[in-house]
Amino acid sequence: MIKTLQKKFIVTAMIAISVLVIVLLGTVNVVNIIRINNQNNSMMEMLAGSDRGRSDFGDIPPEFQDGEIPENDFSDENDFPMSDNRMDNDRFKLFNPILNENDKLAAVYFLVRLDENDNVIFTDIKHISSVDEEAASSYAKDVIDSGKKRGRTDSYRYLVTDSPDGNGRTIVFLDVHTHRQSILAVAIASLGIGILGWVLMLLLIIALSKKAIRPIAENIERQKQFITDAGHEIKTPLAIILANTDAMELHNGENKWSKNIRKQTSRLSELMQRMLSLAKMDEGTANLKFEELNISKIVNELASSFKEPANKKNIKIEKEITEDVVCKADKESITQLVNIMIDNAVKYADEDSVINIKLKKTDKKMKLSIANKCSNLPDIPPEKMFDRFYRGDSARTQKSGGFGIGLSVAQAVAEAHKGHISASYKDDNIISFVVEI
């Protein structure tokens, strides 16, 4: 129980940490991608804007082509906002970084200008070495054919802008190969850091898990110890009560009161025995002796022993038991498990119904299933029936002699054998229990 609780604590904590790591690293990478994309868009707009001042003379703006330098007032710092190398915190934008002339000079790009008929009239390839004029024209034609204003082709992003006079267009192609490598490098680095951090957190949580669940574990241990101590203390009074009942019947004969005392004392004794078995299973102190057992023989014998109580309710027991199903298990606890399941089916099956018992070998495991018809299925999930002292129908349970703890014992036995037990509702009000060990 303590180990199970510790595992659940570790799993829950690591799920929370995994979600946190994924969100954080995902956010970092998304922010990085958005920032680089916005930077590329800003760079293309900047390059396209500077190209509008070009003429066929090259990079010389028209106002300089007559040989005269116009007068400008350079006292206003806003005259050259892109060339100011100072970057104040209030101007810096995470998702839309400010670019300057140095960024422009470092850009790898080429330009293609088209006339109103989309014919290439000028190409600027001096800022890139991997593209010639023919390739630049080919890229421009592909972009025009696509009909898009922005997009990506090969390792370039492009932007199509109209000429200032409206008689043509300019296409800016920006090489984003290094930017894509940067995005990939950040993604790989963040993934590596995330995995390393996740592993370190796992080791830390494993180291601290025992301390974290210590108060709960101590409380559980005290409860188990109380059940064990109470069970042993109650055994003696029960034995005295039965002995006095026997003596009373010897002197006065058997009567309805002595019968009732004997019945309730036996019921309480059986309940305490099951509680002690469950406590031992939980504590891991049950003395299980694993050996090769013929499960088919055990199931057949126990099913036959329930014929009489089944006949009283006119219940038919149908068996489909594969011969010589062998499993390595503890004989006493396995016998108890099978006994509980068949007893549970006989107690709660409808009169004039059928109980189906099936046993077979699957994937090196023993699979035992017991199904019976129940007029009123519990209105809870099937797994809830394995809760201790759960009773779907209190009056019916008392009448049938149940305690509400039998299935909990069966579950503990299955888990002690590294197996599991499950319940499910079928059509026609059939309830089925399956044990795999």
Note the pLDDT tens digit of each residue in 83-128.
444 444 444 455 666 777 788 888 899 999 998 888 999 899 999 9
Residue 121 CA to its chain's centroid (Å): 60
More confident residue, 74 or 399: 399
Is 207 part of a structural domain of the chain? no
Give the containing element (helix H, strand E) for 360: strand 354-362
- The number of distinct structural domains making up the chain is 3
Indicate the pLDDT class of residue 238, thresholds 50, 70 and 90. confident
Confidence check: pLDDT of 378 > 70 = yes
CA terminus-to-terminus distance, the chain:
19
Q: Are residues 374 and 395 in the same domain?
A: yes
Does 97 fall in a domain? yes
Q: Is the pTM of this model over 0.85?
A: no
Burial (CB count <10 Å: 0-12, 13-18, 19+), residue 230: middle
Q: pLDDT digit string (tens) for 328-346?
A: 898 988 998 999 899 989 9
- Residues 145 and 51 both lie in one domain: yes
327 shares a domain with 279? no
Are β-strands 168-175 and 109-115 bridged in parallel, bridged antiparallel, or unpaired? antiparallel
The three-state secondary structure class of 288 is coil
In terms of C-beta density within 10 A (0-12 exposed, 13-18 middle, 19 or more buried), how is residue 139 classed? buried
The verdict on residue 191 lying in a domain is: no
94 in a structural domain: yes
**Residue 233, domain member (yes or no):** yes
Domain that holds residue 90: 2-65+76-181
Q: From CA 40, how far away is CA 32, in angstroms rounded?
A: 12
- CA 195, 200, 204: angle at the middle one, nearest 5? 145
Quickly state the pLDDT bin for 283 (edges 50, 70, 90).
low
Which amino acid does the sequence have at 91?
R
Residues 285-296, mean pLDDT to the nearest whole number: 82
Establish if 365 belongs to a structural domain: yes
Last residue of a domain, one of 231, 266, 283: 283
**How many CA atoms lie less than 13 Å away from 391 in the CB half-sphere?**
13
Same domain, 278 and 303: no
Same domain, 269 and 173: no
Identify whether residues 57 and 118 lie together within a single domain: yes
- Residues 243, 139: one domain? no
Q: Are 243 and 265 in contact (CB under 8 A)?
A: no
How far is Cα 334 from Cα 328, in angstroms, rounded to an integer?
Answer: 10
Q: Does residue 316 share a domain with residue 263?
A: no
The answer as to whether 190 is a domain residue is: no
Same domain, 296 and 428: yes
Most confident of 44-58, 80-94, 205-219, 226-240: 205-219
pLDDT-wise least confident of 37-51, 210-224, 246-260? 210-224
Phi-psi region of 84 (alpha: psi -120 to 50; beta: other; left: phi over 0): beta
> Is a pLDDT exceeding 50 seen at residue 302?
yes
Query: Do 256 and 278 share a domain, yes or no?
Result: yes
- Is 338 within the bounds of a domain? yes
- Distances from the Cα of 92 to the Cαs of 89, 244, 250, 254, 391, in angstroms? 5, 93, 101, 98, 67
| CATH classification at residue 224 | 1.10.287.130
Residues 232 and 111 reside in one and the same domain: no
Would you state the pLDDT for residue 94?
A: 57
Same domain, 222 and 329: no
Q: How far, CA to CA in Å, does 177 sit from each of 159, 173, 184, 331?
A: 16, 12, 11, 70
